[in-house]
Amino acid sequence: MASQRLALLDAVCAAPKAELHVHIEGTLEPELAFALARRNGVTLRWRSSAELRAAYAFDSLQSFLDLYYAGCDVLRTEQDFFDLAWAYFQRAASDRVVRAEVFFDPQSHTARGVGFDVFMPGLLRAVARAQQQLGLSAAYILCLLRHLSEDDGIATLQAAQPWAQHFIGLGLDSSERGNPPEKFARLYAQARAQGLRLVAHAGEEGPAAYVRDALDLLGAERIDHGVHAADDPALVRRLAGQGIALTVCPLSNVKLCVFPDMAAHNLPALLHAGVKVMVNSDDPAYFGGYVNANYQALLAAHPELDSADAYRLLRNSLEASFAPAGRIAAWVGKLDAHWRAQGLDAG
């Protein structure tokens, strides 16, 4: 039995998958943070990468965000953003990610005087190398900070216009409570008019109503986290019925105390209610692992998830991506072949 479970974990790790919820700034490993600090003459509050890693004990989303924004200060040059993104793509490819849709937070950089002309070339150079050298398809989602004003978000979307063809969508992140979706209705209407795909963090710390409002007031096509939707059974039925994806991040939710431990995580319940959930890493440098570590932690704590469930999570990740339909079909075909080759049940 135990060996069957290990075989399933191995099969999941080796399966083609998409990662749809990862913040590029959240992939900044302490070692790289120190290397960039040295390169840029920035003094960090911690004496070593080990001391910085030891500071990663959070009791809420805000306690994490304070450290996450402080970490951004070492990112100063085009090369820094390239190094950051290229390191992530290499890790993602080794987790057999075939498609990554990656958030970046422009306001965390423009507020420090680091502009689009600095970070976009570095981020895009890394995408091109990921495609060429790793066969990994990647795209960026411009993510706006909800603790700032809607006007700041609109101005940032405006500043991004010269780079508009290089990102596929718009997202909303940062401190959720007290910054409801309705605050950003005009911004999302503008982004929709520009043809951007729309996503929003909602229902991470905030209530189920924020998930509903992200759908109804912002037109979000996919919800990031969304785990508090489970508090509203009618909303869960709607998500399942409309095939709306929730990009769930198990290790993040435990690290930020959304759930007391992995065994209490509600992803299995959402999956079994028919909601299109999948597994993502959010801010892997801070939360203890990349996407495969998230699958492993989830499956280890939830023996009720069987091989058909694991297949469904992997397939959901591919189907919920914003890649062209033909690419998605090809990846699903590869997943099916892999699952068959392992002799596993796909449900």
| Closest distance to ligand ADE from the beta carbon of 64 (Å) | 7
26 binds ligand ADE (CB under 6 A): yes
Compare residues 155 and 257 and give the one whose CB is closer to ligand ADE: 257
Q: What does 61 interact with, of Zn ion, ligand ADE, none (CB < 5 to 8 A by kind)? A: ligand ADE
Q: Do the Cβ atoms of 142 and 153 come closer than 8 Å?
A: no
Residue 173 CB, shortest distance to ligand ADE, in Å, is 3
The pair of three-digit structure tokens given for residue 291, joined into one six-digit string:
């996407």
Q: Which of 173, 213, 309, 319 binds ligand ADE (CB under 6 A)?
A: 173
| Mask for 46-85, x = binds ligand ADE (CB under 6 A) | ---------------x------x-----------------
Asked if 20 and 280 touch (Cβ cutoff 8 Å), the reply is: yes
The size of the interface with ligand ADE (CB under 6 A), counted in residues, is: 11
Q: Which of 80, 282, 309, 319 binds Zn ion (CB under 5 A)?
A: 282
**What residues are annotated to the active site?**
204
List the one residue from 252, 280, 296, 317 that touches ligand ADE (CB under 6 A): 252
Between 213 and 309, whose beta carbon lies closer to ligand ADE?
213
Q: Does 213 bind Zn ion (CB under 5 A)?
A: no
In the bound state, the residue with its beta carbon closest to ligand ADE is 173
Based on the shown chain and the rule CB under 5 A, indicate whether residue 319 belongs to the binding site for Zn ion.
Answer: no
The reply on whether position 23 binds ligand ADE by CB under 6 A is yes
Cβ neighbours of residue 13 under 8 Å, at least 6 residues apart?
95, 96, 292, 295, 296
Determine phi and psi for 199, rounding to 5 degrees. Answer: -135, 165
What is the DSSP pairing of strand 222-225 with strand 137-145? Answer: unpaired
Give the three-class secondary structure for 217: coil
Alpha-carbon distances of 18 from 28, 75, 133, 214, 224, rounded to whole Å: 20, 26, 18, 23, 14
Q: Interacting stretch for Zn ion, rule CB under 5 A, among 62-70, 190-198, 277-285, 295-303?
A: 277-285
Give the one entry of Zn ion, ligand ADE, none that residue 204 binds, where binding means its C-beta sits below a cut-off of 5 to 8 angstroms depending on kind: ligand ADE
Q: Give the one entry of Zn ion, ligand ADE, none that residue 156 binds, where binding means its C-beta sits below a cut-off of 5 to 8 angstroms depending on kind.
A: none
Residue 299 near residue 292, CB atoms below 8 Å = no
Residue 17: how many CB atoms within 10 A of its CB? 29
Binding mask 180-209 for ligand ADE (x = CB under 6 A): ---------------------x--x-----
Token couple for 231: 């508090």
Neighbours of 94 (CB within 10 A): 12
Task: Give the pair of three-digit tokens for residue 250.
Answer: 């198990």
Residue 105 as a binder of Zn ion (CB under 5 A): the answer is no
Rounded to an integer, what distance in angstroms lies between the CA atom of residue 280 and that of residue 22? Answer: 7
Query: Site residues for ligand ADE, window 258-317 (CB under 6 A)?
Result: 282-283
Of the candidates 203, 254, 255, which has an alpha carbon nearest to the alpha carbon of residue 224? 203
- In angstroms, the Cα distances linking 152 to 148, 149, 155, 183, 190 are 6, 5, 5, 12, 14
Give the interface with ligand ADE as residue ranges (CB under 6 A).
23, 26, 61, 68, 173-174, 201, 204, 252, 282-283
Give the interface with Zn ion as residue ranges (CB under 5 A).
282
